[in-house]
Amino acid sequence: MSHYSAWSLLRHALDGHRSWAPAWRDPAPRRHYRVVIIGGGGHGLATAYYLARTHGITDVAVLEKGWLGGGNTGRNTAIVRSNYLLAANSRFYEHSLKLWEGLTQELNFNVMFSQRGMVNIAHSNAELSALHRRGNAMRLNGVDAELLSRDDLGRLMPALDLSPEARFPVMGGLIQKRGGTARHDAVAWGYARAADARGVDIIQNCEVTAIRRDGDRVAGVETSRGFIGADKVALCVAGDSGRLAAMAGLRLPIESHVLQALVSEPVKPMLDVVAVSGALHFYINQSDKGELVMGGDIDGHNSYAQRGDPEIIDHVVESAIALFPAIRRMRLMRAWGGTVDMSMDGSPIITRLPVDSLYLNGGWCYGGFKGTPAGGTALAHLIATDTPHPIADRFTLTRFDTGDLLDERGAGSSPWMH
């Protein structure tokens, strides 16, 4: 792997950037691998990378039915934070955030991690109390959190409507200064390049169509490019988790739902934090290109359509205009959807499945991008050692039978409510 640096950029500038080598190989699938990972999104690629880097397991293939990062990794709004309430989630996402802080250097690939601050806005006293509680929980868990007054919010976001006539009065807020955004595709590409350099085969346009079993054990996968044998197989397919599990005869505590996002036309810098309003189910930040990136809730019914209802877009735009009236005449440029893997308690699942040597990384709901480095670390550890990584040992499948749930929002077993 050629090292990326200011020097290599200069050197390649001399011939008009015509001599860059491809960032990863395009190998034909071999007949057998020690580990086959299904899904070339962030989690699958990160798992392959940490298998090679941390555990020295390089006889690994990542199989992707389309192109790398073409699933939720390339569709998400790239918010990275660790402002969780429950200890198990806090531990995992804080570990992930620490990995994000060194990821560009680790991968020698600029993932454009921008710790611009993650702000939660409260519109009522009750909501403010809930943010105080969350901030205290975060600090007890060793995560940075600071309360914000209305004036603080006004200084951070001059465009925010703080007037008494505001449709949604602003009472205060909470900031995690280490939170922010990253470049979504770069995460997939960076892990792919670094895994490939350690010998991992990354195979695109290769759809898994069946999982072959040998008794209680997984034997390999049927694909659009033929059968590929494997000692171990891992599912990292987000919204397709249910489909892949069905191929192994399993049912999961996961439903597939659509989550939408949208961007405005680009404008000059006007918002340099990530802002979230829990009451409005709304969030917004400004991309490096100047677009306002916005999103809201999932549509709220099972869907594999990768597109959603205009009703949600209406709601998001109305929220944006209510909070930031200055943007009311801006044009919407694009809206899209991704199929998210909503688990029954809103928390992820990283586990061995009831079929021997079959593993699952899923249940990321609307927030698994920020968990990419830690999700890959934890699944690689589980595959290599068959014991759960301590940062993810509560993300079990059995918790749904034992009652040891991780329900951040207290919404119960209705995945569309999390």
Partner 1 sequence: MRIPCPNCGSRSLAEFSYGGAALDRPPGDIGPSPETAPAWDDFVYRRDNPAGPLRELWFHAAGCRAWFVATRDTRSLEFIAEVTP
Ligand X SMILES: Cc1cc2nc3c(=O)[nH]c(=O)nc-3n(C[C@H](O)[C@H](O)[C@H](O)COP(=O)(O)OP(=O)(O)OC[C@H]3O[C@@H](n4cnc5c(N)ncnc54)[C@H](O)[C@@H]3O)c2cc1C
Q: How far apart are CA 208 and CA 276, in angstroms?
A: 38
Report the b/e string of 335-361 with b at 16+ CB within 10 A: bebbbbbbbbbbbbbbbbbebebbbbb
Site string for ligand X, 205-244 (x = CB under 6 A): --xx---------------------------xxx-x---x
CB of 304 to partner 1, least distance (A): 4
The bridge status of strand 358-362 relative to strand 226-235 is: parallel
Stretch that binds ligand X, among 53-61, 172-180, 249-257, 363-371 (CB under 6 A): 363-371
Name the CA dihedral angle for 121, 125, 130, 136, rounded to a multiple of 10 degrees.
Answer: 90
Q: Per CB under 8 A, does 251 bind partner 1?
A: yes
CB of 367 closer than 8 Å to CB of 343:
no
128 vs 258, which CB is nearer to ligand X?
258
CB 237 within 8 A of CB 358: no
Question: Sign of the CA dihedral 329, 335, 341, 344?
Answer: positive
Q: Which residues pair with 218 in a beta bridge?
A: 213
Beta-bridge mates of residue 214: 217
Look at residue 304 and give the partner it binds from ligand X, partner 1, none, a contact being a CB closer than 5 to 8 Å depending on partner kind. partner 1
Looking at beta carbons only, is 174 or 259 nearer to partner 1? Answer: 259
From the list partner 1, ligand X, none, which binds 200 (C-beta under 5 to 8 Å, kind-based)? none
Distance, CA of 76 to CA of 53 (rounded, Å):
26
Per rule CB under 8 A, count of chain residues that contact partner 1: 26
- In the region spanning residues 309 to 328, those forming contacts with partner 1, defined by CB under 8 A, are 309, 311
106 touches partner 1 (CB under 8 A): no
Stretch that binds partner 1, among 43-51, 158-166, 246-254, 356-364 (CB under 8 A): 246-254
Kindly state whether residue 370 participates in binding ligand X, applying the rule CB under 6 A. Answer: yes
Q: Name the strand (E) or helix (H) holding 339.
A: strand 332-343
Q: Is residue 76 involved in binding ligand X (CB under 6 A)? A: yes
Asked if residue 38 binds ligand X (CB under 6 A), the reply is yes
- Please tell me the distance from the alpha carbon of residue 295 to that of residue 320, in angstroms, as a whole number: 10
Residue 40 or 220 having the CB closest to ligand X: 40
Does position 201 bind ligand X by CB under 6 A? no
Binding of residue 118 to ligand X (CB under 6 A):
no
Contacts of 193 (CB under 8 A, 6+ apart): 1, 23, 24, 107, 109
Residues 310, 299: contact at Cβ < 8 Å? no
Asked if residue 369 binds ligand X (CB under 6 A), the reply is yes
Closest residue by Cα to residue 48 from 63, 60, 34: 60
Within 275-371, residue ranges assigned H as helices are: 310-323
Q: Determine phi and psi for 51, rounding to 5 degrees.
A: -60, -45
The listed partner (ligand X, partner 1, none) that binds 1, CB under 5 to 8 Å by sort, is none
CA 137 to chain centre: 23
* Partner from ligand X, partner 1, none contacting 416, C-beta within 5 to 8 A by type: partner 1
Give yes or no for residue 253 binding partner 1 (CB under 8 A). Answer: yes
Question: Considering only residues 326-355, where is the footprint of partner 1 by CB under 8 A?
Answer: 344
Task: Decide if residue 83 touches ligand X (CB under 6 A).
Answer: no
Give whichever of 145 and 349 is closer to ligand X, judged by the CB atom. Answer: 349
Give yes or no for residue 255 binding partner 1 (CB under 8 A): yes
# binding residues, ligand X (CB under 6 A)? 39
Q: Between 75 and 95, whose beta carbon lies closer to ligand X?
A: 75
> Of partner 1, ligand X, none, which one does residue 73 interact with (CB within 5 to 8 Å by kind)?
ligand X
User: Residue 108's closest CA among 2, 1, 4?
Assistant: 4
Stretch that binds ligand X, among 38-46, 350-358, 383-391, 399-407 (CB under 6 A): 38-46
CA–CA distance, 229 with 252 (Å, rounded to integer): 24
- Choose from ligand X, partner 1, none: what does 369 bind? Cβ within 5-8 Å by kind: ligand X
Torsions phi, psi for 197 (to 5 deg): -65, -25
Q: CA–CA separation, 327 vs 191, rounded Å? A: 37
The reply on whether position 396 binds partner 1 by CB under 8 A is no
Binding site for partner 1 (CB under 8 A): 240-243, 246, 251-256, 300-305, 309, 311, 344, 400-401, 413-416
Binding site for ligand X (CB under 6 A): 38-44, 63-66, 70-73, 75-79, 207-208, 236-238, 240, 244, 259-261, 295, 338, 340, 364, 366-370
